[in-house]
Amino acid sequence: MEMGKKYTVAVVGATGAVGTKMLELLQEVNLPIEHVKALASKRSAGKTLAFKDQVLTIEELTADSFEGVDIALFSAGGGISEIFAPEAVKRGAVVIDNTSHFRMVPGIPLVVPEVNPESLKTHQGIIANPNCSTIQMMVALEPLRQAFGLDKIIVSTYQAVSGAGAKAIAELENQVQEYLDGKPLTELTATILPSGGDKKHYPIAFNALPQIDVFGEEGYTLEEWKMINETKKIMGDESIKVAATCVRVPIVNGHSESIYIELKEETTVQAIQEILAKAPGVELVDDPSRQRYPQAIDSIDQKGTFVGRIRRDLDNPKGFHLWVVSDNLLKGAALNSIQIAEKMHELALI
Amino acid sequence: MEMGKKYTVAVVGATGAVGTKMLELLQEVNLPIEHVKALASKRSAGKTLAFKDQVLTIEELTADSFEGVDIALFSAGGGISEIFAPEAVKRGAVVIDNTSHFRMVPGIPLVVPEVNPESLKTHQGIIANPNCSTIQMMVALEPLRQAFGLDKIIVSTYQAVSGAGAKAIAELENQVQEYLDGKPLTELTATILPSGGDKKHYPIAFNALPQIDVFGEEGYTLEEWKMINETKKIMGDESIKVAATCVRVPIVNGHSESIYIELKEETTVQAIQEILAKAPGVELVDDPSRQRYPQAIDSIDQKGTFVGRIRRDLDNPKGFHLWVVSDNLLKGAALNSIQIAEKMHELALI
């Protein structure tokens, strides 16, 4: 970037759950920003948003929206990214894409800034932001991989409905109201979850749905495949063994994960705690004697990845268990995208 | 039992979440029953309950309550069992105890009828009913242990609040109402969960609490220790490796479990499905192509243990993943106790 230049930043999907958080974060970001464009569908065009002391008018997303844009943050679904990300790049913008569309494309960096910032250096215009449930796991495990080597991960998730968008939050709240009004649990109104793109819909209120996204190969859902494949790409090691069971639970915001790891070396709980206590992006919350452990409701609007319940496996001296929680709309989505932009600015890659 | 004799059955804790289910099940049980006594604290004494075409008057629990009782079903807390179970045995009753008090006492059978009914034969008056989250895991895994041998279990639970009693259900419902009324999630009224016996209480609504019961050795909670130790005792094999992370979620009823197992032999998903399809107490619900998998809300008032999402581990040919769901008040508590009584009757042990 030229000395003294200030960026024009576009947010694609500005009215969504993640886009809203992106616009909030852009008000306090560590980047020189000249101008912010809020882009959305035709339906939202013309509405206004407060941004610092300005009023932003939402513009309809078109290819020409990206004229003069330096950084384009996408979070409006894979189909939108597929069409418009190349248009933005063509017009000179760097795209940071929060959808899954480009994540596994060879040559496209998939980045958690605490983990693999160096992969930004080879970017060709598009940088992919990983899946929410993957990001927080990477922040917690990379310091342990660095210290002890990482052989195997088995993760079971407890994922919030906000990961499926603002409409899924409304669906949960409506179902909870229906239950309090006396409607049977199996008859609550469900039109979105477990996956808007799948055929059947089930209530999430007072339930646990072991399906996030649609089913893929081997009986694993695409969400589970994302955690498996993205982990290997971000950590840059195809030999890491990863298994995931992804489950939606009736939580508004904040993903929790029960993670079992097998390291390559033996170590102690204390050594792991000491490493995580000073790891970037990690907040260690681990004191059973005072009932201190990460909780979804405590993670909301927080930027950290909270780690606790660290225990040794009783049978494997290289095995450990952790409980990892983060705000899936922030570090899991909007914040990580913004941090990618900050890191690229710092590395003079924009 | 003498030919033609009919049993007198006492339910201790008759007004609790589990006791209520026990009384419901006794109306349809496969046992000759002459008389049912509903026992509870002084506070509930004198209240009446419908039982078939009779009216039961709740009696205050005393040692003499067990005069003439053949079968005493206890579910009123470990302290009550500690004092009154020996009194019941002294008066000739067989005690089936749903609390954790006697479970790990050597010589006291800890029984899931589908798994280890033969251990009933050496009973000396008291039979322990296992922990809710352990029972459903045993029903699902014992057929696989029989077929392939079982080396290791790693389980993460999604446990319903009903496991903490009727008051915990009311607490969840009240918190949900407070949230709909606009109260912040971290300020919802919490006086019971995560554990009535511990110091701090946290909201469960829209949250996941990685603490069930109080903390014990090695940073594991007592609920986690129960799953570890009870599994070895029920399966009669101290060499089985077990790790558990027990988590309370905002579900009224129905425990779910994400289970990873390592068998002693290689096998296939199809072979596991075929075994579980005909296993006693198991209902196989496993068809991703039609979005069929076990759900907590579908398990309520059902007697089965539902198993689905069966997948091979992608890295270990002896490793498999399963999702196991059951009504924790039924198979996890009241139903298993009743089934123990039925099995003892069948084996002429009462």
Closest in A156, A245, A288 to B219, CB measured: A288
Subunit contact B323:A245, Cβ cutoff 8 A: yes
Segment B105-163, tens digit of pLDDT = 999 999 999 999 999 999 999 999 999 999 999 999 999 999 999 999 999 999 999 99
Q: What is the pLDDT of residue B276?
A: 98
Q: What is the pLDDT of residue A235?
A: 98
Q: What is the pLDDT of residue B5?
A: 82
Average pLDDT over residues B334-347: 97
Q: What is the pLDDT of residue B30?
A: 86
Known binding residue B175? Answer is no
- The fraction of chain A above a pLDDT of 70, given in percent, is 99
Range 280-309 of A in CB contact (< 8 A) with B: 288-291, 293-298, 300, 308-309
ipTM score of the complex? 0.97
- The fraction of chain B above a pLDDT of 90, given in percent, is 97
Q: Which domains does chain A have, with CATH numbers?
A: 7-129+333-346 (3.40.50.720), 134-328 (3.30.360.10)
Residue B3 has pLDDT above 90, yes or no: no
Segment B304-329, tens digit of pLDDT = 999 999 999 999 999 999 999 999 99
Subunit contact A207:B297, Cβ cutoff 8 A: yes
Known binding residue B8? Answer is no
Segment A43-95, tens digit of pLDDT = 999 999 999 889 999 999 999 999 999 999 999 999 999 999 999 999 999 99
Q: Which long-range contacts (CB under 8 A, 24 or more apart) does B198-205 make?
A: B198/A291, B199/A291, B200/A290, B200/A291, B202/A291, B202/A295, B202/A297, B203/A297, B203/B175, B204/B161, B204/B168, B204/B171, B204/B172, B204/B175, B204/B248, B204/B249, B204/B250, B205/B172, B205/B175, B205/B176, B205/B178, B205/B179, B205/B250
Question: Which chain B residue is nearest to residue A316, measuring alpha carbons?
Answer: B241
User: How many Cβ pairs within 8 Å bridge chains A and B?
Assistant: 175
Q: Is A315 on the interface with B (CB under 8 A)?
A: yes
Residue A3 has pLDDT above 70, yes or no: no
Closest Cα in chain B, distance from residue A219 (Å): 6
Q: What is the pLDDT of residue A5?
A: 82
DSSP string of B281-322, one letter each residue: TEEE--BGGGTB---HHHHTT--SEEEEEEEE-SS-TTEEEE
Which residues in chain A are closer than 8 Å to B180, comparing Cβ atoms? 173, 176-177, 180
Closest in A176, A245, A288 to B176, CB measured: A176
Which residues of B have a catalytic role annotated? 132, 255
Segment B78-103, tens digit of pLDDT = 999 999 999 999 999 999 999 999 99
Segment B244-292, tens digit of pLDDT = 999 999 999 999 999 999 999 999 999 999 999 999 999 999 999 999 9
Closest Cα in chain A, distance from residue B311 (Å): 6
Subunit contact A256:B243, Cβ cutoff 8 A: no
